[in-house]
Structure 1
Amino acid sequence: MKTLTLSCAVALALYSATSSFAFATAAVAEAATAALPLTAEYANDASLRGEVGPKQRNVTVLRVQILLDRARFFPGEVDANFGTNTRIAISGFQKNNGLPASGAMDEPTWAALNTDVEPVLVSYTLTEADVAGPFVEIPADMMEKAKLAALGYRNVAEALGEKFHTSPALLAELNPGKDLGRAGEEIVVPNLASAASLAKAARVVVDKSDSTVTLYDAADSVIAQFPASTGSEHDPLPLGEWKILGVARNPEFKYSPKLFWAADPAHAKATVAAGPNNPVGVAWVALSKPHYGVHGTPEPSKIGKTESNGCIRLTNWNAEAMGYSVSPGLPALLQE
């Protein structure tokens, strides 16, 4: 255990002196872990333990989220916050590894995750391409969106967030005093950008019960599990057996207000240009159900936490990865 503050270090040393204080040691260790800064020094420590549960935000949760992302049980946007998406990702990882699917980080789950020994936080030097833009202001109104030539990123932080599957707020916290807009600046990022492509899928399952999209291979093994937004009361998920029709990358969005129950009555049909802030993000996986598909979103922090207009929303990076894994004719089961 690295030095925290004098009081934490002394408490840990005192409680560790005898096995009779094992329970107290664990309690103090969890409290100490919660106080650790979000730095590579601590996040890259495979012996790191601490509280990983509802409403927890700490370096332990950060390590778990990055390891889950690399294991292809995606927790959504990496933000060091333990929420529903992280719990569901843990549960999926546990089930896939023959462990009780509790959604809690017990020792067997830590042992399985920590077989990945690569650092979870690494240094990265910003390139000219990272900071070049162009960056644009994105209006809220759909008709105003349709006037833009492209719906690119709003700023460098948003672009880097998608590149490293991370909330812009966490990137700022990992890099105090750093200029994210300067090429040549060395920053700390989650070690995620170089992840290998997914294997080819044999079938897709969208599950409303836990808001996930899961890809399976021909041997029925899990390739990847993504958190998803899966419909709403007004536009429920179209349950049943469908097929993948095809994949559009960087698609335009054909806006038809009559298909949206809450559309502004003053709106008309419009074409919204492509880009990561397009309403369907960077990829559209079309289903045989007309007007329905799996697609990206410009708001990764809301995946699994807000409703959709009947389609299945993923983060942009998950939608893009899925698009390269699936092919036309693949079965897609949408279930409760």
Structure 2
Amino acid sequence: VIEEKNELIRDLETQIECLMSDQERVKKNREEEIEQLNEVIEKLQQELANIEQKTSVDAVSFPEEADSLKHQLDMVIAEKLALEQQVETTNEEMAFTKNVLEETNLKMNQLTQELCSLKRERENMEKIQSAPEKSVNTDRDDLNKTKPELKVHLTENALKPLENQTYLTSFEENSRSSISSLETKVLQLEGTVSAKDLELTQCYKQIKDMQEQGQSETEMLKRKIVNLQNILEEKVAAALVSQVQLEAVKEYAKFCQDEQAVSSELERTNVQNLNPVTDNEMEPDVLALTLRISELESQVVEMQTSLILEKEQVEIVEKNALEKEKKLLELQKLLEEEKNQGGKERKRSPEGDFEVLKVRLFFLFVCFHLNA
């Protein structure tokens, strides 16, 4: 019986040590999880404040984007509330586990007390066995009398460790199940982190594609502006030439009219000696000159209107090109800032930063396409 009790004591001691180590490990893991969740909540609150400031500025500058930004802000607030609910549930779980650990500590203290009592009984039994044989023979009758009481006491003390052992086995099973559930949660978090990494790389790729597209569009617009400027210069030169020709024709027509006025007086005096064929030849020349003058004037008016329209188009194209260059520079600056901030913040809270980066990249994408 003493050897069995010794084995039970050893088993209980090993089980208590295992439970203590498991308790400390679970407590440490819970504290780390609580710290991580608190950091995530603080970062989310900071990012939410930044997003609210950005949305207020964007609402003043771009009122047509207010509804979409408000929708995105509502989504972020809903995600924040969901995270706060998760934190509350984890806090409740932590409180429950603390209560369970306190109960286990109480029961472990009871077990230690029972172990101490069993050790004392074992020492008493050893003292009784090590007593001299004479005293044993003299007290044999007394022992025979008290033997049933000792048996009852020993059986009661032997049943208590068995009950405690069953409780310890059930507690071990519960702790193993909780540990397995925590491991599954860790695996799920790792999966979400990998998914968020993939989404982040895709967003960076989209930003690079947008940057390349913006550069190609700016180059194309620059080439178009150069071509339009060349065409405009050619048309201006042609208009100047046509204007010079028109002035020359006008001067020639004026000269002809003056000459005709001078010659008309001479013709009146010598009208009988002149041939009627000359009058018939001068009239179509004058008509042709007037028609040519009217055609040149209409061409000059058309060229002036086309020049005005082309100047307006060139100004619009240059304005669009400058706006796109500004937006491209802003996107490049924001991309560099996000890269610099993302490398520091991703080490502390990856999951929350992924959501915030996703919202920021969505805002950048919407702003670029609306302005394009």
- State the TM bucket, normalised to the shorter chain: under 0.3
Q: Which has the higher contact order (CA 8 A, sep 6+)?
A: 2
**Higher share of residues assigned helix:** 2
Task: Please identify which structure carries the higher strand content.
Answer: 1
TM-score by length of 2: 0.20
Structure of higher CA gyration radius: 2
